[in-house]
Structure 1
Amino acid sequence: MSFPGHQDAGRLPAAFTATGSSSFTEFVGAHAPHLLPSRRPLPPGGALEAPHGTTIVALTFDGGVVMAGDRRATMGNLIANRDMEKVYGADDYSAVGIAGTAGIAIELVKLFQVELEHYEKIEGALLSLEGKANRLATMIRSNLGLAMQGLAVVPLFAGFDLDTTVGRIFSYDVTGGCYEEHDHHSVGSGSLFARGALKKLWRPGMASADAVSIAVEALYDAADDDSATGGPDLGRRIWPTVAVIDTDGLRFLDDDALAGVVEQIVAGRRGNPGGAR
């Protein structure tokens, strides 16, 4: 990180040793604003054609929350990437899924991860789940200029609340509005179809394994009707990314576990692609 006016290569700039905010984003914004995604100017010529990511689903179960995302990124009518990661761990007890302009979204998530780690080091404690959701909202709001030029980022945030010991889900709009969702939610171009599946399949008091299966099936339904959402690819062995968050923290399901879930769903849909009769 370069700072204007810093010439002594053997010493840290004074900004690093001064007392300041527990927000890493505010620190960078004050001393090196050109490094923030929202401060980078677009080249002339209007909006860029860039890869976009879709679809993310999240649903609660008894004692936690599951988040899952498909792996396809599109650029116009083309498939830009078949195995993109769209669900990331924000910290040990939360995850964020990205929908929108892929490059900016990934950079925003990485900055958010550092933001939470920086807070924990400065304050010596974890930020509350609601505090994490509000920090992410502030970061999305700072990207409004790029969103108005067509480079929008609309993530989905979920985590395990250590105070209430339940899973919680938060959605956003491009202006940084933060809204708590109950039971389940989805974002992205396939969200309409995924949300319909979640409404039919979700039920109170589920176990985590049931929630994982429902998340994968919701993505399956989204891919069935939305060309920008990639369904499970049995030929290439590409499965959705699935994160489970509960009292033990965040964990991602490995390919072997997901393969069994996907194959069971596909077998159940054989001869009946529309799902349960």
Structure 2
Amino acid sequence: MSHQQGGALPSAFTATGSSSFLDFLGAQAPELLPSRRTLPQIPGFEAPHGTTIVAATYADGVLLAGDRRATMGNVIANREVDKVFAADEYSAVAIAGTLGFAIELVRLFQLELEHYEKIEGTALSLDGKANRLTTMVRGNLGMAMQGLAVVPVFAGYDVDRGEGRIFTYDVTGGRSEESSGFAATGSGSVYARGSLKKLYRPGMSEADAVTAVVQALYDAADDDSATGGPDLSRRLFPLVSLVTADGFRLLEAAEVAEVSRTVVEGRRDAPDGPRAPVL
């Protein structure tokens, strides 16, 4: 992108254009698009991967939570990874998959929503935001086919419906809205989802919903070595975010720590977790 003489901005930055930042980037600097990446030619190269994330609706909205571990093969690459982010005021996104690409996708998604609102003067609907994320996940398909997938979970508070909603994606960008009220993705998702199937109740209180997702992440960590459970000795606990009619809120670390300690203490007497009734 060439600069004009005298320090003036190029016309691309001053002319009225598309409400999509990705379209703008594709037209002005396509080499910066994630889909234009090339893999490093390093024998045995392994990228850090984020692991398990969960989501659940509850009485006041929806929450997203993630463990903190990233792995490279059988090695723990990082124990303090943030996998849950605000997308905008009324939505959040959590990531599993190739960590660097996933964080880049989140930043582009945040910018895409902000750019749309500045150009159009209004925010996208929740379905519109979910559709924009579909396009971005599909743009990473080339990397996904080479083993570097990004699989997000998107959740938000629908101000028109007055309820929380959850959207999941596959590596091709296929989007599904979760009617069950909960979702999980990542390496430990099968265990987390199984846990939530027994613990989740529609219309749960915030406290019960937070406890349920921490229990689910504990169950995932119990059976999946790539998922990190609550680590009391290092004071590392899941990251939990809430989206309600009041907007996005990250649950205070002290609150998550208290719930995590209660869950860990309960597992001393019941290692497999709380029992659901047969009928």
2:183 is matched with 185
1:123 is matched with 120
Describe the SS at the equivalent of 2:269: coil
Query: In 2, Cα distance between the equivalents of 1:63 and 1:130?
Result: 19
1:236 is matched with 234
1:267 is matched with 265
In the alignment of these two chains, the number of paired residues is 274
Matched residue type, 1:191: S
Which consecutive residues of structure 2, in runs of 5 or more, have no partner in the other structure? none
Q: How far off is 1:7 after superposition? A: 4.6
Q: How does 1:162-173 map to 2 (within 5 A)?
A: 162-173=159-170
Matched residue type, 1:140: V
Query: In 2, Cα distance between the equivalents of 1:120 and 1:88?
Result: 19
2:7 is matched with 10
Q: How far off is 1:46 after superposition? A: 7.7
User: Which is worse superposed, 96-105 or 15-24?
Assistant: 15-24
CA distance 1:145–1:47, shift in 2 (3 Å): farther
Query: In 2, Cα distance between the equivalents of 1:259 and 1:84?
Result: 16
Match of residue 77, structure 2, among 66, 76, 80: 80
Query: In 2, Cα distance between the equivalents of 1:179 and 1:45?
Result: 36
Matched residue type, 2:226: A
2:202 is matched with 204
1:92 is matched with 89
Query: In 2, Cα distance between the equivalents of 1:48 and 1:181?
Result: 35
Describe the SS at the equivalent of 2:150: coil
Query: In 2, Cα distance between the equivalents of 1:9 and 1:106?
Result: 36
Query: In 1, Cα distance between the equivalents of 2:61 and 2:263?
Result: 23
Residues 47 and 149, structure 1, Cα contact 8 Å, conserved in 2: no
CA distance 1:128–1:152, shift in 2 (3 Å): same
Query: In 2, Cα distance between the equivalents of 1:271 and 1:213?
Result: 17
- The question of 1:159 aligning with 2:152 is answered no
Query: In 2, Cα distance between the equivalents of 1:220 and 1:68?
Result: 12
TM-score (structure 2 length as normaliser): 0.95
- The question of 1:53 aligning with 2:45 is answered no
Matched residue type, 1:76: G
Fraction of identical pairs, as percent: 66
- The question of 1:105 aligning with 2:102 is answered yes
Residues 47 and 151, structure 1, Cα contact 8 Å, conserved in 2: no
TM-score (structure 1 length as normaliser): 0.96
Q: CA RMSD in A?
A: 1.3
Residues 137 and 150, structure 2, Cα contact 8 Å, conserved in 1: yes
Query: In 1, Cα distance between the equivalents of 2:242 and 2:3?
Result: 44
Query: In 2, Cα distance between the equivalents of 1:67 and 1:104?
Result: 20
After superposition, what is the alpha-carbon deviation per residue over 1:132-172, rounded to whole angstroms, capped at 9, x for unaligned?
Answer: 00000001111111111111101000000011011000000
Which consecutive residues of structure 1, in runs of 5 or more, have no partner in the other structure? none
Q: How does 1:219-234 map to 2 (within 5 A)?
A: 219-234=217-232
Q: How far off is 1:44 after superposition? A: 3.5
